[in-house]
A and B are shown apart, each in its own frame.
Chain A
Amino acid sequence: MKLSKSYFADERDDDLVEVGQSRQRSDIRGHVTGKTAYFGDRTFPGLLHLKMVRSPHHHARIKRIDTSEAEKHPGVARIVTANDVPHNLYTILILIQVGPEDEHVLAVDKVRWKGEAVVAVLADTARAAEEAAAKVKVDYEVLDPVLSIEDALNPGAPIVNEHHGRNYYLYDSGECRKVRFGNVEEGFASADHILEETYQSGPIEHAPLETSGCIVAPEANGRFTCYTNTQAMFFTLDNASIILQMPGHKLHMVGGTVGGGFGGKVDVTIEPIAILAAKLTGRPVSFIYSREEEMQVSSPRAAEKLVIKDGVMNDGRIVARQVTAYIDAGAYSRHSPYGAQKSAAHFPGPYTIPNVSVDSYCVYTNRTPSSAMRGFGVTIGDFALEVQMDKLARKIGMDPLEFRFINAYRDGDMKAHRQLTEGAALIECMQEVSIIADWPVDERFMAMSSRTREN
């Protein structure tokens, strides 16, 4: 691989020596000898195993919960229900004022997705906990589910989440996050061609090899030590503190090596209930997702539906881009209002387009709550935008790489969300790609620079 150091040479010391060099990981010795300690490698005397009773329905009213048979099961130490949770309503990003609280730790009155936590069972062995969980009787009145973005936004659709009162997140900018730049209607009117396409994606599970989990040990000093593989230690600490109504200094969160995360371990679905269980029983508690739970219950990347409309000139300039994005949050917000907001800023892509209009909706459905995953809010958008770029190039009979040179953003360009472009280097990257991929472009593109514009 060639490392070009010339581009930003005047902005930094040219001391990059690592790229292209083989280096050992600092933690590799533990990995190859099996000594690396993951949270689940700990054992505690008297450890209790937590098994969650989950909703078998997408959307249902809880009429009655009967735990009497489960309580009698040999080895059961405690059954935890919604009434045991001190503040049984939360949303992760309330820490940065992205409310309202919209999710229960254990379901109250209603379940809103298939897999929602209803009752927690604690027993001496994982097997006893599982057997007892099967004996918890929950009577449900099944409600009509909302299973797609289209259904959710239909007038008269059942309300998925009463804490929002509507099937989309209400931003301070209204029913969606909006970006307005120039005038897209004028742009479309002046365009030689219009292309409108719809792109859709399904949820994607991270599937880390180590499932999500934690082990909580009550300490003699009244604190609780929580060994966890969370990727978001302070989200977990602060949300646990709110949910448990327990000051932060009572909670000692211990992280460590995580056996794969990819964004799938930033939610707060495990630690608060496990800490509560340890408090209620006075015993150490292990709550580790089964593989089935990891695949079915942990948050996936959101499903998205993107409608992209572009106005393009015969000479290759994109003169208007309108995007309507729908991000399927599932039943609860978690990180999706942020993901939808991020998508809105991102949608013009790395291109300078004079007229842009973006509406990004965060939509609630009775599906598994979605959340963070590697570039969430952006990755699916990039797929759609680049497919759209190829389609646009074909429409006007232009080479797809040359088409991108024409529209590439350059230093000093104002982006649609009012951030000045700095340090773009997109032109230079594409020039290198043209050479490496043996995909020649016209010499005028090879003469371009991200730092200047040719008249």
Chain B
Amino acid sequence: MAKVPVQFTLNGSERAEFVESGATLLTTLRDRMGDTSPKGGCHQGTCGACTVMVDGELRLSCLTLAETCEGADVRTTAGLANGEVLTPVQRAFEDAFAAQCGFCTPGMIMAATALLERNPKPDRAEVIEAISGNVCRCTGYEPIIRAVLSAARANSTSAA
């Protein structure tokens, strides 16, 4: 089957691959580029475990064709930390016990990160809305909501 070239920035690095036409961003990231932080929970856009950011917007990578990301800026949970230094969202998830099995966590963290980038001081309802596309089957939503609110507080404190 004819392959097509795709080239985009992944977590700040230029990446290029030949993929099958119709390959999703999820399989391209995981199988070709070695970034397994986005997870495939349903492959039909309902669970949110594959959530990444493309040009600053949240995207379900299982429903995004790699070809449509040509020249884009793709960010995943694997690229958030600066070495050992975590982002406030990551630190808050650690401190608030906001993960159990961890499979939904990378998608949750991208959803929370995108929220705080566009709305640094969300209220509880806005946090719930922001993670409503991400399923957690260990049913730890409350600690996740608390973590996001706490990350927002940490942001505003450090900005002040």
Cβ–Cβ contact A209 & B136, under 8 A: yes
Cβ–Cβ contact B95 & A22, under 8 A: yes
Cβ–Cβ contact B39 & A209, under 8 A: yes
Contact pattern, A 139-176, Cβ under 8 Å of B = 1, otherwise 0: 00000000000000000000000000000000000000
Q: Which of B80, B90, B104 contacts A209 (CB 8 A)?
A: B104
What is the minimal beta-carbon distance from A376 to any residue of chain B, in angstroms?
17
List of B residues within 8 angstroms of A64 by Cβ: none
Chain B contact residues (Cβ within 8 angstroms of A): what range? 35 or more
**B4 on the A face (CB < 8 A):** no
**B13 on the A face (CB < 8 A):** no
List of A residues within 8 angstroms of B20 by Cβ: 125
Q: How distant is the Cα of A191 from the Cα of B23 in the complex, in angstroms?
A: 70
Q: How distant is the Cα of A36 from the Cα of B109 in the complex, in angstroms?
A: 14
Residue of B nearest to A27 (CB): B102
Cβ–Cβ contact B97 & A22, under 8 A: yes
What is the minimal beta-carbon distance from B42 to any residue of chain A, in angstroms?
4
Q: A22-B97, A260-B103 are in contact. Are A33 and B90 (CB under 8 A)?
A: yes
Residue of B nearest to A210 (CB): B103
List of B residues within 8 angstroms of A37 by Cβ: 36
**A258 on the B face (CB < 8 A):** yes
Q: A25-B99, A43-B31 are in contact. Are A290 and B43 (CB under 8 A)?
A: yes
- Please, how many residues of chain A have a CB less than 8 angstroms from a CB on the other chain? 34
Q: How distant is the Cα of A21 from the Cα of B102 in the complex, in angstroms?
A: 21
Cβ–Cβ contact A32 & B90, under 8 A: yes
Cβ–Cβ contact A24 & B94, under 8 A: yes
Cβ–Cβ contact B41 & A210, under 8 A: yes
What is the minimal beta-carbon distance from A96 to any residue of chain B, in angstroms?
28
Cβ–Cβ contact A259 & B99, under 8 A: no
Cβ–Cβ contact A34 & B77, under 8 A: yes
**B28 on the A face (CB < 8 A):** no
Q: How distant is the Cα of A225 from the Cα of B50 in the complex, in angstroms?
A: 27
Of residues 16 to 58 in A, which have CB atoms within 8 Å of B's CB atoms?
22-25, 27-38, 40-41, 43
Of residues 1 to 55 in B, which have CB atoms within 8 Å of A's CB atoms?
20, 30-31, 34-44, 46-47, 49
Residue of B nearest to A74 (CB): B1
Interface centre among A29, A31, A259 (most CB of B within 10 A): A31
What is the minimal beta-carbon distance from A28 to any residue of chain B, in angstroms?
5
Contact pattern, B 103-127, Cβ under 8 Å of A = 1, otherwise 0: 1111001000000000000000000
Q: How distant is the Cα of A34 from the Cα of B61 in the complex, in angstroms?
A: 15
List of A residues within 8 angstroms of B101 by Cβ: 208-210, 257-261
Residue of A nearest to B80 (CB): A33
Of residues 54 to 95 in B, which have CB atoms within 8 Å of A's CB atoms?
76-78, 80-81, 86, 90, 93-95
Q: How distant is the Cα of A35 from the Cα of B135 in the complex, in angstroms?
A: 20
Of residues 374 to 408 in A, which have CB atoms within 8 Å of B's CB atoms?
none
List of B residues within 8 angstroms of A180 by Cβ: none
Cβ–Cβ contact B78 & A33, under 8 A: yes
Can you give 5 A-B contacts (C-beta < 8 A)?
A28-B97, A30-B102, A43-B34, A208-B103, A291-B47
